[in-house]
Amino acid sequence: LRQVSNGNLLAILNRHYQDLTCLCFTDDSSHFLSGAKDCLALVWNLYSVLQAEPSQIPDPRHVWSRHSLPITDLCCGFGGPLARAATASLDQTAKLWEISSGELLLSVLFDVGIMAVTLDLSEYHMFCGGMDGSIFQVDLCAWVTGHERPFQTERENGKVFKGHRNQVTCLSVSTDGSLLLSGSHDETVRLWDIQSKQCLKTMNHKG
């Protein structure tokens, strides 16, 4: 953890057992999350980390250990310490958590490993990017909390974006919730209209 203005090293956290894959702050920067190949997602209280003695490694506020394969992505909603966070994993699940209690709210099981996850601003939808190039839209209001349920394309009719030919590695939703941006190993970035699931624009990259 470093201070941007002067580059000073403030803390070194060494609690994961394998390579880190993702990091993010809550919107108020009171907490941050780390995900790794050790299948763990850790929630850190920034104040506790900064107050710890240099010789001590502070304890994370929560250790989320419900994934069975490496975590590939995570994102935080809004609300600071009261926010919800989503994690994606190669174990073919995306999970939604409550930061304040550490409770698992929802687990969605897919047919493919999940490489990317994001929430829209209102947190009505969770978008999950798959290894096969599909992007799945999970309507959070329609799911019962605390249950693991398979995502079934037939029942969730019209909730899959199809177009990428390789794994989807990053996702972002526009502020008004109408557009989805996706990046993939097929060397394209695609812009989608969320309501119609149509691809509006494809931008090619050389890598």
Domain ranges within the chain, ordered by starting residue? 68-204
Half-sphere exposure of 64 (CA within 13 A, CB side): 32
Among residues of the chain, what percentage have pLDDT more than 90? 86
pLDDT at 149 over 90: no
Q: Which CATH code fits 68-204?
A: 2.130.10.10
In this prediction, residue 155 carries a pLDDT of 64
Q: How confident is the model at residue 108 (pLDDT cuts 50, 70, 90)?
A: very high
Express each pLDDT in 29-85 by its tens digit: 999 999 999 999 999 999 999 998 878 888 999 999 999 999 999 999 999 999 999
DSSP string covering 71-118: EEEEEE-SSGGG-EEEEEETTSEEEEEETTT--EEEEEE-SS-EEEEE
SS3 content of the chain, % helix, strand, coil (to 5): 5, 45, 50
Q: Name the helix (H) or strand (E) containing 46.
A: helix 46-51
